[in-house]
Amino acid sequence: MMCEVTTRVKKDIATSVNDAQYALKARGMKWWRKIHGGNAGIPPPFNLIQCVWTFIGSMTTHAILSWMNEAIAARSAGELTLIFAPLGALTTLQYNLTAAPPSQPRNALFSQIISMFTVYSLYQFPSLDSWHRTALAPAIVETVTAKLGIIHPPSGASAIAFAADLYGIEHMGVFLLGVCVAITTAIIINNLSDKRQYPTNWPILRAINAMYNSSPNGK
């Protein structure tokens, strides 16, 4: 009786091992095939007119931001400055991927607020070193914004910049002001083009209109 049980157990273990090996091999082959890429086509290039709009929009936005940075630095005796790298990524989205969800004002603003809040929260734990924060901050921000549906790549960049001790907490408000300026400029310039619309929607305005239409005065 014991021999039969032992034989059955050994057979079950061998079967489980074989199944695990087969599943691992199948997953590895699938991973290897995916590395070779899919059949998606290459995005078409912009025409000359749209390239001109991108140039005008980006140059105008960064000229305003540069002027604002000089003014802020002068008033703060050089202690406060803008963080240009994430703002450069923002304008790339706004003028080259105008209709994409990550480019929209809702994503741009709220994801950066989440980024600032995340970094500020991590600074409340003195035991965390700089390298801990620079690993945790973008991971948390990217996960939370994905869950909330407000993915915005520059928010990961700003999270790293603040978490790595490159800028102080006092720079956060200045940076968010720069984001608001970039959003306002993009709204003005993109909508001057017949081929562009920015933003593609205003969720807050839709909610306000829905509330008004559902009220007795709105009917």
For residues 204 and 217, give the distance between their C-alpha atoms in angstroms, rounded to a whole number: 20
Mark the ranges of the chain whose per-residue pLDDT is less than 70.
1-6, 9-10, 203-219
Q: Is the peptide bond before 101 cis (omega within 30 degrees of 0)?
A: no
* Residues 54 and 125: beta-carbon distance below 8 Å: no
Q: What is the pLDDT of residue 218?
A: 58
Q: What is the pLDDT of residue 99?
A: 93
* Residues 171 and 83: beta-carbon distance below 8 Å: yes
Q: What is the pLDDT of residue 204?
A: 64
Q: What is the pLDDT of residue 209?
A: 61
Cα 120 to Cα 51, 70, 127, 178, 194: the distances in Å are 38, 26, 14, 19, 42
Give the pair of three-digit tokens for residue 33: 């095939």
For 68-109, write each residue's pLDDT tens digit.
999 999 999 989 999 999 999 999 999 999 999 999 999 999
